[in-house]
Amino acid sequence: MKFTVAIDGPAAAGKGTISRAVAERFGLAHLDTGALYRAVGMKSETEGLEPIAAAKALCPEDLERDDLRTMEAGQAASIVAAIPEVRAALVAFQRDFAVREGGAVLDGRDIGTVICPQAEVKLFVTASPEVRAHRRWLELGGDEADVLEQVRERDARDMGRADSPLRPAVDALVIDTSELSIEEAVARAADQIEARRAGDLD
């Protein structure tokens, strides 16, 4: 059975944690599409490739890099993701993954709006910039004020880009995790998926 869950949202909102949790709970494959862009960004920077060439040359090994969760990788991802040709090079990979037999969860920034507009479940996970910056600061350290500024800069770039801007799909359920525990956020997402799966089986 093919069943696609699209989970979008800004950096450090919790979409990755929620995506992994619901994928495991329902036995679905999981793809962190942000890792594709992080890998392209870091591949471009460390190997001296143009971003478009880096995207076309991306291989599974690139997704195993140990520097993909750094703030630098996140900033690099945001920059290369604004290049239409980079996005185009990665679209087919994401769409093929989404329709794999057994179902899939994809998390990113344009899954419900561009990559999988026909997804059975669409969620948009968000939180205030201050909460997201604090979470990222706890994860990475550094100066929290600088982290907040970087979060706001990335939000502006991701939401303002001409190609596939970050925004909720019109039929997405918005989950604001600012005041939610991980367990509460995962439960809300799981309830939505369970309701849709039950409907599909009726």
Known binding-site residue numbers: 9-17
DSSP-assigned beta bridge partners for residue 101? none
DSSP-assigned beta bridge partners for residue 176? 126
The answer to whether the CB of 161 falls within 8 A of the CB of 90 is no
Distance CA 33, CA 94 (A): 7
Please give the structure tokens belonging to residue 44: 């471009």
122 alpha carbon, distance to own chain's centre: 12
Helix 84-98 with 33-47: angle, nearest 10 deg: 140
CB-hemisphere CA count at 13 Å for 37?
Answer: 26
Q: Which residues are annotated as a binding site for ATP?
A: 9-17
